[in-house]
A and B are shown apart, each in its own frame.
Chain A
Amino acid sequence: MDYDLILVGVGGQGVISLSEIVTEVACQQGIPVNFYPIKGMAQRGGFVKAQIRLGRKVTGPNIPQKGAELVIAMERSEALKAVRFIKPGGDFLLFGYVWAPAAVMLGEASYPTLEQVLVQVQEAGGRMYYLDPASLPLYEGTSVPTNIFVLGVAVGHTGLGEVLDPSGVARIVQTRWARGMERNLFAFQAGLEAQPSEGHEVHGG
């Protein structure tokens, strides 16, 4: 089965790490995989995009427009850059964090509203799963890593859960980093059990 996913966000949010976990689990399950990250320079705070193509033995790195079964967007504005890649009927998971560029903070540039993003995804035929950034759970008093939580949501609620074995993902989440094993597993489990708002239930602001 072919399954293409696109991940977008801002450098520093863990988009690449999240993608590497997906890639590694797929590889362990024997699913052919090509993972292509585009992250610009070494600096944080820039646009990051990753493309993961699962299931094709021979495949080019770029996913065509309207071709992705799943988009995972970790920042509200950057989500818009992935909309044209969603396959009509595909899953669009948005963690609605706002990472405002300086010009936006100063009120010199505009920033899209949640409503705008939701409308665009809907018009492209994407099935929206929305996570309020305030829903990021705490572990021992501090926020869990966003990317692991979002991965949990993706595996628990979107088509990705039918492609990747959740226990295999949990294993990598626990073993990838020497530190924070319990915290990461907690983040992943919390994602699996989270309740993202779907489609029409999302109220933009």
Chain B
Amino acid sequence: METRLLTGNEALALGALHAGVKVVTGYPGTPSTGALASLLAMNPEGVRVEWSTTEKVALEIAAGASWAGQRALCTMKMSGLNVAYDSLISIAYSGCIGGLVVYVADDPGVHAGMAEQDSRGYALMSDLPMLEPASVVEAYRLVQSAFELSEQVGSPVFVRLVAAVANSKASVEVKKPATIPQREAKLVRDITRFTKAGSAICTAQHRGLLARLEKAGQVIGKMGLNQLQLSPSIPQNGERERGGAGRLGIVASGVTASYLEEGFEIAARFGFERDTASLLRVTAVNPFPAEEVRALLRHCSTILVLEELEPYIEEGTYVEAQRMGFAGRIVGKLGGPFERLGEYGVEQVVRGIVAALDLPIPEDLFQGDEATERLAAKRPITVCAGCPHRGTFMAINRAIRKAGYQKDEVMVTGDIGCTILGMNPPFYTIWTEVSMGASVSLAQGYVHGGIQTPVIATIGDSTFFHAGIPGLIDAIQYQVPLTLIILDNGWTSMTGMQVNPGTAEAFQRSGNRRVDIAKLVPALGVEHFFVIDPFDLEGATVTIQRALVLPGVKVVLARQECAIQAMRRGIQAGKVRVVTENCNLCKLCITRTGCPAIGIGEDTVVIDPALCYGCGLCSQVCNREAIVKEPVTWTTT
């Protein structure tokens, strides 16, 4: 046994490693990224770890490994599960051989952007078991249970973490097994199990799926994953008992359970008696823990359900209550007081208890002054100093203007990743963001819808590989007049600089090969293909402007490496300095670039040398020659 400081993501990954995982695949996505990233950094011998092109590809690889008898883990954020679901439902029907665990991370409270989706719904929809660790410590342990459960039942198993657990760091007792038994890969030829063509096959598989879920419930029961504690005593206050509010039963799902003890301490100050409350901690959220909930309903007169986002457990509780003729009250989201959005904390535990027991609490118990926060300056995220996307956004804006259009006359669709920051000031270039790859297809819809002005789509390199290519193929086949601008910075940047298929050969792992967008796009049959340097504002503008008036599909590849990555290797694009006697503090450089490296000094703008990459875009917008860019070779000593 060894104690280590780990994040929830790292604990989950290490737990999988200690459970003998052989193949780990995934696609980066906040808040799930850290799990696979930590394994990649460890580079464990005999374990295949990769960032795949998409979550769907990742899941299919993991499923193949499982069907060959090995333990496999597939990681993704909630949006990635949407991408992988097509394969997931089919794999669910076939079941698995080696343990197959699908790790999905949700983001209640939306700290990172995208839909505040509750992925438990996918477990319900696919009839797959789902375990939900309440803490970092549980993440390590429960992923191992998930592999056992998966193999005992023959079913893929979800493990779901929320951002607060995935990104939290805590000390975890880990136990590396003395030896991890190696398995021989085996081919299993079973057409009725691993194909889908034919109603008899599918019906039999569906029956098998339902039977596996039922069996999962039994195995989960034996494993003791859901913990039920019925209260030993009844409340002293007979009044409350008669009012139907006494005998409280609390159902806490996932992370909400970690706030219980703290909430009990606070609620005790207002008359809550801890030993009168019964408690069901739900760790296995699917299948629904019906037996435990029924026991709770028999024992209690009021049920408090604590779960973030959708009221799945609460609805299940209502169903059991109806079947049993339960006459008490259920407190949660459906009848209030809780909302179906945001994170839960101590506050919800206390508020839930006082609502269930009609206890009085001071109104401002947890209520800080939210007006205070509104006094803070708005801080829209913008691209980093030296980011090549800055040049591309500026060139798009200029090209639109030079082509004779107003900004609100030309649709520029956007996509997922750093490139979406073009929606923010000072650029306001991008109008839409839907999902990975959607920019290209949405743009076609605008054209077919009858928009007469040029339509531009923008997408990053990793996003293009992930899901942009099918949309582009569609546009090529039907010769849809649009301009696709691929902002290629060579890395999957927003999630923390992962290698993707287009990353330079030098940074690919030994034996891997780079897929070059500059070769791929022309090979698809794009006749008007251009490569631009985003740090050359004039050249980039002219090329985009030209592309806008050409017929058919035009693709512009804007290529410069992510400045963060380049600067980490000591690279500078140039040396930029302010010519103080020329600067009249007109601030054009700030209004046009929004570069965080430029500040305002006493009489002139100032450039922070620690932040500046030397891209020189500021020097290209200055009309007084007050900022000059010099080649870096002149100044290095």
List A residues at the B interface (Cβ < 8 Å). Answer: 10, 20, 23-24, 27, 32-38, 40-47, 56, 58-67, 77-78, 80-81, 83-86, 100-106, 109-112, 116, 120, 123-124
Contacts and interface: CB of A to CB of B under 8 A. Distances in A.
A61 B372 contact: no
Contacts of A123: 369
Interface in B350-367: 365-367
A138 to B, nearest CB: 16
Contact of B418 (A32, A36, A43): A43
Nearest to B562: A42
A37 B167 contact: yes
Contact of B378 (A60, A109, A120): A109
A133 B346 CA distance: 35
21 contacts: A27-B171, A34-B169, A36-B168, A38-B163, A40-B381, A41-B112, A41-B494, A44-B384, A45-B381, A58-B135, A66-B368, A78-B376, A80-B376, A83-B369, A86-B368, A102-B590, A102-B591, A103-B377, A103-B425, A109-B378, A112-B377
Given A40-B111, A45-B384, A103-B425, A34 B136 contact: yes
B228 interface: no
B368 to A, nearest CB: 2
Given A43-B382, A67-B346, A83-B369, A23 B564 contact: no
A61 B262 CA distance: 12
Most chain-B CB neighbours within 10 Å: which of A40, A60, A65, A66? A60
A196 B24 CA distance: 50
Interface string B115-141: 000000000000000000001100000
Given A41-B494, A43-B383, A60-B258, A120 B171 contact: no
Contacts of B345: 60, 62-64
B267 to A, nearest CB: 13
B479 interface: no
Given A43-B382, A58-B261, A65-B347, A105 B366 contact: no
Interface string B160-174: 000111011111000
B373 A84 contact: yes
Given A34-B170, A35-B169, A41-B112, A64 B375 contact: no
B221 interface: no
B112 A83 contact: no
Nearest to A44: B384
B587 A80 contact: no
B599 A105 contact: yes
B111 A105 contact: no
Contacts of B596: 44-45, 102
A126 to B, nearest CB: 11
B169 A62 contact: no
B5 A23 contact: yes
Q: Give the most central of B163, B168, B255, B599: most A CB within 10 Å.
A: B168
Interface in B248-262: 255-256, 258-259, 261-262
Given A65-B366, A105-B590, 20 more contacts: A35-B169, A36-B168, A41-B381, A41-B418, A42-B493, A42-B496, A44-B385, A56-B261, A59-B262, A61-B255, A66-B368, A67-B366, A78-B379, A80-B372, A80-B376, A84-B370, A101-B377, A105-B599, A106-B590, A124-B368
B518 to A, nearest CB: 25
A124 B369 contact: yes
A61 B164 contact: yes
Closest 7 CB pairs of A and B: A84-B368, A60-B259, A60-B258, A65-B368, A61-B164, A80-B376, A62-B345
Contact of A101 (B136, B168, B169, B380): B380
Contact of B594 (A23, A34, A81, A102): A102
A68 to B, nearest CB: 10
B343 interface: yes
A44 B383 CA distance: 8
B164 A36 contact: yes
B369 A60 contact: no
A44 B97 CA distance: 45
Contacts of B369: 83-84, 120, 123-124
Interface in B145-168: 163-165, 167-168
Contacts of A23: 5, 169
A84 B261 contact: no
B296 to A, nearest CB: 21
A27 B600 contact: no
A76 to B, nearest CB: 9
A186 to B, nearest CB: 20
B497 interface: yes
B64 to A, nearest CB: 32
A38 B111 contact: yes
Contact of A81 (B5, B163, B255, B376): B376
A24 B5 contact: yes
A32 B381 CA distance: 34
| Highest count of chain B CB atoms <10 Å: which of A41, A84, A123 | A41
B379 A10 contact: yes
Interface centre among B30, B135, B368, B373 (most CB of A within 10 A): B368
A157 B99 CA distance: 53
A37 B163 CA distance: 10
A102 B259 contact: no
B326 to A, nearest CB: 29
Interface string B91-121: 0000000000000000000011000000000
A54 to B, nearest CB: 11
A80 B379 CA distance: 13
A56 B170 CA distance: 11
B381 A43 contact: yes
Contacts of A37: 167, 169
A120 B371 CA distance: 10
Contacts of A111: 377
Given A36-B168, A84-B369, A120-B369, A60 B377 contact: no
Nearest to A10: B379
A140 B244 CA distance: 72
A192 B170 CA distance: 27
Contacts of B418: 41-43
B426 A102 contact: yes
A166 B111 CA distance: 33
Contacts of B425: 102-103
Contacts of B426: 102
Nearest to A57: B261
B346 A64 contact: yes
Most B CB within 10 A of own CB, among A44, A47, A63, A102: A102
Q: Which of A43, A81, A101 has most chain B Cβ within 10 Å?
A: A43
